[in-house]
Amino acid sequence: MSEGTIVAGAVNTPRPKIDGRVLRAARTRERIVNATIELIRGGEATPRVIDIARTAGVSTRSIFQHFDDTEALFAAVAQQVVEALLPLAKPIDPALPWETRLDALMETRTQINEALLPFRRAVALHQPRSPKLAAGVGAARLFTRERTEAAFAPELASMSEAERKQVVDAVLAASDWQMWFSLRTTYGLDLETAAATMRRMVGAVLMQAVSRGSAAATVAA
């Protein structure tokens, strides 16, 4: 048989040929995105194209051959950063004791927020001009909301829709990356102290929710 042979009941098909130009283009695009991330982590909220090109080892012309404009580049940067952090956002079992769930949530939020810290200014500067970046931020917030609601479903179940939304909003506001930026930068807290402060805020919100749920259950009984 010429194209494919049958061996021990399996079909061996020839591997598809990979276009070298496509592969080189993908690698160049990856270098450009990684260079931009490196510069942002180094303190440049809006890296200059010439600096990105120098760090990536490409020409400035090459950057705009792979990205329509700088906003498209920063949207690609945001996507890569978020995809790298997604494995940290593990679901939390709602059957666990609420303090155990709180600890799990705080561990996740601390890791993600600290990783996002260098990108906060870049997002604030580019988001108003980039619908794609704004949509990505919105999707990330929705994902976080859904995970939070699922983790604390037992406490939220007895609440009215309005109260449930208010509690979840409070948890998200107390644990999102803007709050983390404020704790770490505005208040100058080290990582451990910032994490403990954030846990205290979120814990206070959830403690009130737990207390109300217990009171409601007692009345119902």
SS3 assignment, position 12: strand
State the pLDDT at residue 22. Answer: 82
Per-residue pLDDT averaged across 196-211, rounded?
91
Per-residue pLDDT averaged across 167-192, rounded?
96
**Mean pLDDT lowest for which of 9-18, 87-96, 187-196?**
9-18
Note whether 133 and 123 are within 8 A (CB): yes
Residue 9 in domain: no
Residues 99, 177, single domain; the answer is yes
End position of a domain, from candidates 30, 52, 82: 82
Full residue range of the structural domain in which residue 206 is found: 91-220
Q: How many domains does the chain have?
A: 2
Residues 143, 49, single domain; the answer is no
- What does the alpha-carbon distance between residue 93 and residue 192 come to, in Å, rounded to a whole number? 25
Residues 128, 213, single domain; the answer is yes
Residues 75, 99, single domain; the answer is no
SS3 assignment, position 10: strand
Domain containing 43 — which CATH number? 1.10.10
Residue 7 in domain: no
Which pTM does this prediction carry? 0.80
Does 1 or 23 have the greater pLDDT score?
A: 23
- What does the alpha-carbon distance between residue 208 and residue 193 come to, in Å, rounded to a whole number? 23
Residue 124 is given by DSSP the state H
End position of a domain, from candidates 28, 52, 82: 82
User: Tell me: the pLDDT tens digits for 28-44?
Assistant: 999 999 999 999 999 99
Residue 118 in domain: yes
Residues 78, 123, single domain; the answer is no
105 C-beta neighbours (distance < 10 Å), count: 23
End position of a domain, from candidates 32, 47, 82: 82
Per-residue pLDDT averaged across 107-133, rounded?
89
Residue 12 in domain: no
State the pLDDT at residue 110. Answer: 97
| pLDDT band per the 50, 70, 90 thresholds, residue 129 | confident
